[in-house]
Structure 1
Amino acid sequence: MEKIFGKTEGLKKSELKRLSNLYRRRVPKERVLTPELAQTLASLSQEVGRPIALLLDREGRVVRVGVGDAKDLPIPEGARGERRLSGFRLLHTHLSPGGFSRPDLSVLFLNRLDNLAALEVEGGRPATLHLAFLSPPRGEGDWRVLPPRPYFHYLELDLRAEVEALEEELARQARVRELVDGSGERALLVGVDRGEGPEAEAALEELAELTRTAGGVPVRRVLVFRPHLDPKYLVGLGKLEELKSLAYHENASTLIFGLELSPAQAREIERATGLKVLDRTQLILDIFALHAKTPEAQAQVELAQLRYLLPRLVGKGKEMSRLGGGIGTRGPGETKLEVDRRRLQERIVYLARRLEDYAKRREEARRQRKRRGVPLIAVVGYTNAGKTTLLQALARGGEPGEDKLFATLRPLTRRGFLPGVGEVLFTDTVGFIRRMPEELLTAFRATLEEVREADLLVHVLDASEEGALGRYRVVEELLKGLGVEAPRVLALSKADRAAPYDLLFLRERLGGVPVSALKGTGLKELKETLAEALLKEGVRPQAWAQYT
């Protein structure tokens, strides 16, 4: 007997058998229903005293049978595939007069059903039929409800033509958006203002920059004022309804939140909206994974991802790394979820040991540098402040910088020369960001040791960026948290792009040397300042330094 979904408690075996026989029914692909099916559903629904729901595919085959309202019949995951609509339609009965309920229409909307139909039952006979279709994006509302009529008035409705016309319009609008916004995963960004005001707006702008760096297309930004967060839905169920509608009209498949979500919140928001849900930490981890090129950087990022994933693991067995099979892998009573957790923990231990090996090699390299007596200057700063480009200009070597967040993940060390000092080593570092995920700080601990061991820091601050003062404070607070005590020299980078007033304001508040690594201005002054700072710290100049 085929499976019957929903509220089947208390039903007789004969009733379950009759319900199971509905799987043998077939409706012409261009029709909503047939008179025979309408009569069968009405009499059976009256007999069991409960609504009955059928899920049909585009060929008119019954793929699921349920007892209860439309929301009680689970729709198969991943049903949409490459289509704009799911390829499924839902037909269910109503035992009392009335149109669609809000939960009914939510099932249509969330699952992108081809069509939703509700058949009223009166005295065991089919009566009024209600039909609903999705509206095209940016149309009037989220759905289109046809006038209720006796069911036989809709027997000749060409359902196939209605669905094809809707999908054509969906595809046309998607092509237009791609031309305007570019290709990529379309995402709706959600920021939360808990009273921060301009800082919340800046954080939402930064979230958009992170999304673009990850290859997504931020189609709309929504800033929600909420002093107290909803423990279940973060921004409240009502706001999620608005976001769900907005995502549909913008053809967005992803919601990205500017705050870190708890595992329970992520699950509930995804269940309520039917969209993929990410938080800021996941987004940053994804960017790190995108830019990790060396084995060490890849191990660091994977370790951070696994530590983030472990408490959020809820039955994602197929998404885990390779799982052994056969003898020796089937523990007595061990569930798949427990196996996944154990595999993750084993992988975390393995990666942690690998990173310890990398840390030992890095420590040995640092000892050799100290024996040679070559000063080490670490270049630090907010992500995308221009650190890599400045290092290339100071050391006359290295890799070209990119206008992306977290483009540099591995500490790149290059030899350079300072007047009056001689040979020095410049090392690039991972860029910082406000509310840096703890998993990343832990994973990149060994890399950040370069900063702690440096003789001098060059704090690179993008003078052309709005909110530069706030970014300066973020970096300084992170350095303080890492226990970094080395003296600093502030480099106001991208000075050629900065407004004169902004540059003057930063110099008055923070000091610093204005530089433009691309145009070469200010580099001589910066090198002289670095040399003075090293000599002040007791670095002994090399004998031939006067000739540099």
Structure 2
Amino acid sequence: MEQIFGRTNGLKPSEKKRLANLYRRRVPADRLLTAELAGTLAGLSGELEKPISLLFDRSGHVIRVAVGDAKEVPIPERAYVETRLSGYRLVHTHLGGGGLSRPDLSTLFLHRLDVIAALEVEGGQPRVLHLAQLSPPKAEQEDWQILPSRPYHEYLEWDLGGAVSALEEELSRQARVLDLQDGSGERAILVGVDRGEGTQAEVDLAELAELARTAGAIVAHKELVYRPVLDARYVVGRGKIEDLQSKAYHENAATLIFGLELSPAQARELEAATSLKVLDRTQLILDIFAQHARTPEAKVQVELAQLKYLLPRLVGHGKDLSRLGGGIGTRGPGETKLEVDRRRLQDRIAELTRKLREISGRRQETRRQRERAGLPVVSVVGYTNAGKTTLMQALAKKGEPGENKLFATLRPLTRRGFLPNLGEVLYTDTVGFIRHMPDELVEAFRSTLEELRDADVLVHVLDASQEGALERYAVVEQILAELEVEVPRVLVLSKADRAGGYDLEFLRERLGGLVVSALSGAGLPELKQAIAEKLIAKGMRPAVWAQTGYVPDFIP
């Protein structure tokens, strides 16, 4: 017997059988109801004295039967397509009269139903029919349009197929307009949370937008929500979530991205409440790292970080493993899918950790070879997208050009360069830092970052053109302190050609540093001289000094 959903307590077996018989009903694909089905539905609902809900697919077949209101019907999950409706229509009875309720309309909007209908039942007979459809995006009215209430028989010939086709055509047209304006890509709504941080919350939201752009998303809308205390289930509150869901519909967006780390329970609640893909800041950063991982080492490090992030979030989300590729194999007796998934993740984490140790061992050997060669090592560090790669290319006179993207460089790059009065040195580039850098990434890249301890000089690159430069400087210095890196530093105020004169002067007063533009070359000679002085202060001596007896005045 087919399953009956909803409030079935107290139903007799014969009543359940009659409800199950509704599964065998079918209406024409382009029609909402037939007179015969309306009479059967009303009669059964009147006898049971309970509302009954039916869910139809596009072909007109009943695929769900529930005792209760529209919210009692479990609507199948679907692959989210912004330009299409779900392909389901929902018809349910109202015993007490009245039109569509707010929960009815929320069900219509949440699941993008083709149509929702409420059939008034009086004395076991069908009476008035109430209908609603979604409004086209950018429409002046609410997210739904309520059609005139009429006796049910007047809607028996209503052209449902034509109404659905017209709405989907409008959805597609709006999507094409947005694509022409913004280009193709996954459209996302960004949600920043201000917990009393003031302007820093605005800076964080702007950084979240840059992360989304780097990940390949189109920022359809940004929302900064003041919320001193986070909602345990919905982070920013159920009312704000409904507003964001409406904004996503009108902006043709399928993704919500939050600028903080969500708990596993919050992520599940938000996805259930919105039917949208929900990401947090950590997932976004991990996705960017995965996109930019090119070398075997970077791929191992990123996958390890992703799995460590996913493991505590595995409850109820076994399907998430499909994103990592492949099935889970044969299950043992008595094992649940969740247990097998968790063990599979733990085994993979152990394997990746072993690989990372092997890579770390090879990297240590490479460092020893560099030490035997006797060449000084200058490591370039800084906040992500501060201009490290471009500066290193200018210093070494070779290498790949930098990209205006966050975390464009994941693997340590080493280039030979030349310093006046000192000779040949090695420049190394490292992965960029970011505020609230995910712990999983710091741990996975620890072996790479710890190479900074073996550098002779650190060149800390600070983007002087960015708002919040002081905070970014503090973030980098804090991470270096956590890694116990105690190496002489040279501070570079980069992108001087983009920064305002007041900003440069303010940073020089607060932090010191050298003003440099890697693109124009301004300040590069002074930077090389400063690096040479730091190296010489550590005892570095070029061979030419021993041959000529020349010793510069600035040696301490």
CA separation in 2, counterparts of 1:175 and 1:523? Answer: 47
The answer to whether the 8 Å contact 1:187/1:252 transfers is: yes
2:70 paired with 1:70: yes
Matching of residues 216-227 of structure 1 within 5 Å: 216-227=217-228
CA separation in 1, counterparts of 2:202 and 2:317? Answer: 35
CA separation in 2, counterparts of 1:306 and 1:403? Answer: 28
Higher deviation after alignment, 3-12 or 205-214 = 3-12
The answer to whether the 8 Å contact 1:395/1:426 transfers is: yes
Match of 1:481 in 2: 482
The answer to whether the 8 Å contact 2:386/2:463 transfers is: yes
Match of 1:164 in 2: 165
CA separation in 2, counterparts of 1:183 and 1:27? Answer: 38
Match of 2:392 in 1: 391
Match of 1:372 in 2: 373
Match of 1:254 in 2: 255
CA displacement 1:261-301 (0-9 Å, x = unmatched): 00001111111111110000000000000000001000000
Match of 2:244 in 1: 243
The answer to whether the 8 Å contact 1:80/1:87 transfers is: no
CA separation in 2, counterparts of 1:384 and 1:95? Answer: 62
Aligned-pair distance for 1:242?
1.0
Aligned-pair distance for 1:71?
0.7
Aligned-pair distance for 1:537?
2.0
Match of 2:292 in 1: 291
Aligned-pair distance for 1:415?
1.1
The answer to whether the 8 Å contact 2:465/2:495 transfers is: yes
CA gap of 1:473–1:79, structure 2 versus 1, over 3 A, is: closer
Other structure's SS at 1:213 match:
helix
Matching of residues 421-460 of structure 1 within 5 Å: 421-460=422-461
Match of 1:106 in 2: 106
One-letter identity of the residue aligned with 2:479 = L
CA displacement 1:383-403 (0-9 Å, x = unmatched): 001101111111122222111
Gap runs ≥5 in structure 2: 551-556
CA separation in 2, counterparts of 1:121 and 1:358? Answer: 72
Higher deviation after alignment, 80-89 or 155-164 = 80-89
2:180 paired with 1:176: no
One-letter identity of the residue aligned with 1:43 = G
The answer to whether the 8 Å contact 1:315/1:336 transfers is: no
Match of 1:191 in 2: 192
CA displacement 1:109-147 (0-9 Å, x = unmatched): 011000000101111111111100000112111000112
2:86 paired with 1:86: yes
Aligned-pair distance for 1:82?
7.4
Aligned-pair distance for 1:473?
1.3
Aligned-pair distance for 1:430?
0.3
The answer to whether the 8 Å contact 1:422/1:544 transfers is: no
CA gap of 1:542–1:47, structure 2 versus 1, over 3 A, is: farther
Match of 2:115 in 1: 115
CA gap of 1:516–1:83, structure 2 versus 1, over 3 A, is: closer
After TM superposition, the score normalised by the length of structure 2 is 0.95
The answer to whether the 8 Å contact 1:79/1:86 transfers is: no
Other structure's SS at 2:542 match:
coil
Match of 1:322 in 2: 326
Match of 1:38 in 2: 38
Match of 1:213 in 2: 214
CA separation in 2, counterparts of 1:94 and 1:495? Answer: 69
CA gap of 1:465–1:283, structure 2 versus 1, over 3 A, is: same
Aligned-pair distance for 1:322?
3.4
One-letter identity of the residue aligned with 2:53 = A
CA separation in 2, counterparts of 1:330 and 1:508? Answer: 64
CA separation in 1, counterparts of 2:49 and 2:535? Answer: 86
One-letter identity of the residue aligned with 1:386 = G
4+ residue stretches of structure 1 with deviation over 6 A?
Answer: 544-547
CA separation in 1, counterparts of 2:60 and 2:485? Answer: 68
One-letter identity of the residue aligned with 1:95 = L
Other structure's SS at 2:543 match:
coil
CA separation in 2, counterparts of 1:80 and 1:308? Answer: 24
CA separation in 2, counterparts of 1:289 and 1:129? Answer: 52
One-letter identity of the residue aligned with 1:527 = K
One-letter identity of the residue aligned with 2:265 = A
The answer to whether the 8 Å contact 1:535/1:541 transfers is: no
Other structure's SS at 2:157 match:
coil
CA gap of 1:441–1:543, structure 2 versus 1, over 3 A, is: same
Other structure's SS at 1:417 match:
strand
CA separation in 1, counterparts of 2:180 and 2:543? Answer: 59
CA gap of 1:297–1:196, structure 2 versus 1, over 3 A, is: same
Gap runs ≥5 in structure 1: none
Percent of aligned pairs with the same amino acid? 70
CA displacement 1:189-247 (0-9 Å, x = unmatched): 00000111110000000000000000001111100001111111111111111111111
Other structure's SS at 1:543 match:
helix
CA displacement 1:481-506 (0-9 Å, x = unmatched): 11111011011111111112211221
Match of 2:11 in 1: 11
Count of residue correspondences: 544
Other structure's SS at 1:206 match:
helix
One-letter identity of the residue aligned with 2:6 = G
Aligned-pair distance for 1:370?
1.8
CA separation in 2, counterparts of 1:52 and 1:542? Answer: 91
Aligned-pair distance for 1:83?
5.2
One-letter identity of the residue aligned with 2:135 = S
Match of 1:130 in 2: 130
One-letter identity of the residue aligned with 2:524 = L
